[in-house]
Amino acid sequence: MSIIFGPIPSRRFGKSLGIDLSPGTKQCNFDCVYCELDPARPMNHYEKVLEPHSVLDAVEQALREHRDIDVLTVTANGEPILYPHLPELIEGLDAIRGHTRTLILSNASTIHRPEIQRSLMRFDMVKLSLDCATPTCFKRIDRPHNDIDLERIKKGMLEFRKHYSGALIIEVLVVKGINDKAKEMEALNDYLLQLRPDRIDLGTIDRPPAYRVEPVSYLRLRELSLAFDPSLPVHITSRRDIGELKHESYSEREILETLAKRPLTPEDVDLLFDEASRARLERLLEKGSLELIENHGVKFYRPVGKSIDK
Ligand code: SF4
């Protein structure tokens, strides 16, 4: 299996080249019910370890072949922060990447460790999963190795946030019957208000999952997004079961109130608003009552004067 995958065009990050630190074998300390890889016993260390020079040689070669890469995305068939040579890897990437940005996708399981924080700190963007803020829910959905402690992860993320100046994105994946309750979203909201990430991506299962679990609809994601404080930049990433949606009519006042509660992306507006309401939204933009802002590759409409950034 190849260490490099892509390039993959991404609306949010540009043209991305993926770096898989565990090609061919799932090596993860979680066994999430929604994982797109096969179920596997969680492990707390890599059993098969790539030499950092073989990863860096592969990246260098790929960057020579593809000269227009916007971002190098470090991930794994499993969990990249378990890779024991992460410090050497990021150091090597920094030396060869030029202007290409770096992103890591992680489950944050060992973020309480100072050496992991030091490595993450060197990425331009860090995207961490956090599906539940309560321990029972966390264990049901992420099925972690028994040496993983949710409170330690939450404290570690807060510590990391204090020092990290890049873009911190939190991904919440919603599974029907597990974390799709308002009380779970409220617990996440309370925690995320302390963490203040740069963006929260709220999604559901989009690919065949490891276990027999189901996604929630777009409408349910939209309802759950309202459990978050309006100051938190929540972005709905999955658009499933949108057949049940009817375009609704919104007056100018209702548009301003709706967007004050939760800024919406142009894609959300297309799904939720009827044609006349979209025209009203355009008028509000022209009048300067609304603005379209960009948050790390995602556009949002919001009332002027409302902050959805930190
Ligand atoms: S953390 Fe990622 S790789 Fe690991 S089990 Fe969960 S979804 Fe799969």
Show which of 242, 261, 288 is a domain's final residue: 242
Confidence of residue 309 (pLDDT cuts 50, 70, 90): very low
- Percent of residues, the chain, with pLDDT higher than 70: 96
Same domain, 215 and 135: yes
Residue 74: both structure tokens together: 């470090």
Show which of 226, 242, 258 is a domain's final residue: 242
Our answer on whether the CB atom of 30 is closer than 6 Å to any ligand 1 atom is: yes
Q: Strand 199-204 to strand 298-303: parallel, antiparallel, or no bridges (unpaired)?
A: unpaired
- Integer Cα distance of 232 and 225 in angstroms: 10
- Percent of residues, the chain, with pLDDT higher than 90: 78
The count of domains in the chain is 2
- Identify the top-confidence range among 59-73, 140-154, 296-310: 140-154
Q: Which of 237, 231, 240 is nearest to 263 (CA)?
A: 231
Say how many Å lie between the CA of residue 35 and the centre of ligand 1.
5
Say how many Å lie between the CA of residue 307 and the centre of ligand 1.
33
Q: Check: CB of residue 66 under 8 Å from CB of residue 17.
A: yes
Residue 46: both structure tokens together: 């890599």
Same domain, 188 and 256: no
Best mutation site among 104, 107, 111, 201 for ligand 1, i.e. most ligand atoms within 8 A of its Cβ? 107
Say how many Å lie between the CA of residue 211 and the centre of ligand 1.
12
The CATH number of residue 203's host domain is 3.20.20.70
- Integer Cα distance of 166 and 170 in angstroms: 13
Q: Check: CB of residue 288 under 8 Å from CB of residue 304.
A: yes
State yes or no: pLDDT of 200 exceeds 90. yes
Domain holding 178, by residue range, is 4-242
Mean pLDDT, the chain, rounded, equals 92
Give 140-171 pLDDT, tens digit per residue. Answer: 999 999 999 999 999 999 999 999 999 999 99
Same domain, 54 and 185: yes
Same domain, 164 and 270: no
Same domain, 196 and 217: yes
Residue 57: both structure tokens together: 């040689």
Same domain, 303 and 165: no
Our answer on whether the CB atom of 133 is closer than 6 Å to any ligand 1 atom is: no
Best mutation site among 29, 30, 110 for ligand 1, i.e. most ligand atoms within 8 A of its Cβ? 30
Whether this prediction's pTM lies above 0.85 is answered by yes
Q: What's the pLDDT at 244?
A: 62
Atom of ligand 1 nearest to the CA of 78: 3
Same domain, 64 and 201: yes
Best mutation site among 31, 37, 204 for ligand 1, i.e. most ligand atoms within 8 A of its Cβ? 37
Same domain, 145 and 287: no
Q: φ and ψ at 171, to 5 degrees?
A: -110, 125
Atom of ligand 1 nearest to the CA of 37: 8
Show which of 204, 224, 242 is a domain's final residue: 242
Same domain, 176 and 195: yes
Same domain, 170 and 283: no
Residue written as token pair 């995320």: 192
Same domain, 184 and 274: no
Confidence of residue 238 (pLDDT cuts 50, 70, 90): confident
Same domain, 250 and 157: no
Q: Which of 210, 178, 171 is nearest to 26 (CA)?
A: 210
